[in-house]
Chains A and B, each alone.
Chain A
Amino acid sequence: MAELATPADKRRLATLLSPAYLWLTLAVFLPLSAMLFFSFVTDLPQDAPDWAFTLENYGKFLENPVYGKLLWKSLKLAATVTLFCILIGYPCALVLARVIKGRAREVLFLLVILPFWSNSLVRIFSWAIVLRGNGILERTLEAILPWDIRLNLMFTTNAVVIGLVHSYLPYVILTSYLALQAIDDDIIDAARSMGAGKLTILRRLLLPLSLPGLLAGAVLVFVPVVGSFMEPRILGGRVGTYFGTVIEDQFVAVYNWPLGAALSFVLLAVVLLIFALTSPILRKAQT
């Protein structure tokens, strides 16, 4: 910035940046501040003329142990889903970036992104068809295996995890792939020439160098999964009550926007807190 001394440069910079800031204000700041406002009122101003400011909505989160319990359940779900996404996604990205070359890579890459082009609701309903009792999965297994199969996957926590992992896997693959691809081949060759084995190269070179990408992917998965409501509702059935579904209930079913908004901001605060606490550890791991 130091070289942008002249006023003309500054003006040009402001003009060039203004669309981006305007967009951020319109798309992020305004809706969020409206929700923040709702979380501090007793009733929606357009519904009740006698609305007032209150902290009660946040008080309810502390008073009622159900919310804390569900938030914990959602965090555990997000951690599980993120773990599976990393375990499956990172090796995929590794193979894609370092082993496969040329046309095959493009085709495989397309296959990874392909699910992203379909609506997430459609994907979850497809899983419902596959997983449900006497569904595609059970019938296929029954045709292959001689004994009677009763998987009972549908309407379990496992079904929710399967659906979510499938939905969010491409994020981890894409970010890890970009980081892995950027690693200079010469470094690997140098390591190999000095006698490093495949595992050593992975552990000492590839993993540390691609860690920023992997972590970015993990964050991209973790945050939306904590607040997910559609997947647990459809695939989880009776056990599919999470923090996200309770927030959705407040907005859709009981029309209590202030409480729903307050719960959303509690979720946001908890997620930010987790990142604030873990970022020193993660930064250390990167160096």
Chain B
Amino acid sequence: MKSILTLTTALALTASGALADEIRVLNWQGYGTDLDWSLKAFEEATGHSVVHEYFNSEQEMLTKLRTNPGAYDVVMINAAFTPQAIAEGLVAPIDTSTIGNYADIPASFAEDPKLNVDGKVYGVPWTWGLTSFAINTEAWDEVPTSVQVLWDPAHAGRISIRDDAIEAMQLGALATGQDINDIEDLDAVEAKLAELLPNLRTFWSSENDWNQFMAAGELDAATYWSGSASRSAAMGLPVQFVVPEEGAVGWLDGLSIPATSEHQEAARAFIDWMIDPEFYVKWDAEGAPASANAKAMEALPDDAFNKAVLGDPEVVARVHFQAPIDDETREKYLEIWQRLKAAQ
């Protein structure tokens, strides 16, 4: 692993002519790119220093890219939003030949049509994860295999989902056997969710919230994110993440380079660093989502949540990756979701 890193470093050094740049990264706060130890090591290895700016919603991220040309060199974009950024000309094609670790990203991620247009790469797959549900292992005799258990009257008042229109609608789509990216029978989903709501104890809104409800023993099962589930389990909560037979919703986060970046060389070196196995193994120890780099996943210890659960090809086969959602659909989902909540 060391050799890969030194090789990358050497490449980066020769490529940039050892010029030190300051690159600006736009991402969620506390999401992998801004770890102190990693940035220090990156600066030592390449000479480039990294400055961060944060966003609080995907819309805000797009706004920042539109209104501050030249201000950012690397931006983290949920792949569902990358097509919009490409269409608006906000991100530049990336020359992947200088990103050494790119070759280790499996084709299923690397050739994702959301990140590639006309044979050009606009986003390097970085991390991925699942939205499904997790159970309180003390409340179940055996691990459920179907998402329908959330509707089970035996667990009435001990279920929770996140107060989010898109997550709720996609859960309803899975439960009614529909395509999460193209819900044809919205009425069926609405009816299904209307049956679910009386079963809920409350909505959860943040990971911290979720952990508190579980720790207080208020919930038997609740929708959750795979990365968060691994953190909750690491905290000692009796939690198990379930990928039911109906499948789970997958998301993919990519790293892109804004079209107006003036430090593209250094930006590519940073992206390479972010998908490097050595960096990922250390990050995973602190609680990370799954890496898009197959070599990085292999490098994890066997008992790591990301390797044990998300490394299973059978699980991966059940994942429905989220496609871009246009504004019209988003508003329609929100309207249905608000109608359902108002009826309570």
Residues of chain A touching chain B, judged by Cβ–Cβ distance below 8 Å, are 46-47, 64, 66, 69-70, 73, 132-134, 155, 233, 237-241, 246, 249, 253-255
Contacts and interface: CB of A to CB of B under 8 A. Distances in A.
A255 B57 contact: yes
A132 B218 contact: yes
B168 to A, nearest CB: 12
Nearest to B198: A238
16 contacts: A47-B63, A47-B66, A66-B342, A69-B342, A70-B342, A133-B216, A237-B201, A237-B203, A238-B197, A238-B200, A238-B341, A240-B202, A241-B338, A249-B334, A254-B330, A255-B57
Name A's interface SS.
loop
Contacts of B59: 47, 255
A159 B341 CA distance: 18
Interface string B170-207: 00000000000000000000000000010011110100
B40 interface: no
A254 B334 contact: yes
B335 interface: yes
A238 B342 contact: no
A132 B216 contact: yes
Contacts of B335: 64, 66
B245 interface: no
A73 B342 CA distance: 9
Name B's interface SS.
helix
Interface residues of B, number: 25
A46 B341 contact: no
Contact of A237 (B164, B202, B216): B202
B3 interface: no
Contacts of A133: 216, 218
B344 A66 contact: no
Given A241-B342, A255-B57, A46 B67 contact: yes
A64 B335 CA distance: 9
Contacts of A239: 344
B215 to A, nearest CB: 12
B201 A155 contact: yes
Interface of B: 57, 59-60, 63, 66-67, 164-165, 197, 200-203, 205, 216-218, 330, 334-335, 338-339, 341-342, 344
Contacts of B202: 155, 237-238, 240
Contacts of B216: 132-134
A239 B202 CA distance: 8
A136 to B, nearest CB: 12
B341 A241 contact: yes
Given A246-B338, A254-B330, A241 B60 contact: no
Nearest to B57: A255
A237 B334 CA distance: 18
A46 B335 CA distance: 25
B63 A46 contact: yes
A243 to B, nearest CB: 10
Contacts of A70: 342
Contacts of A238: 197, 200-203, 341, 344
A66 B339 contact: yes
A239 B197 CA distance: 10
B60 A255 contact: yes
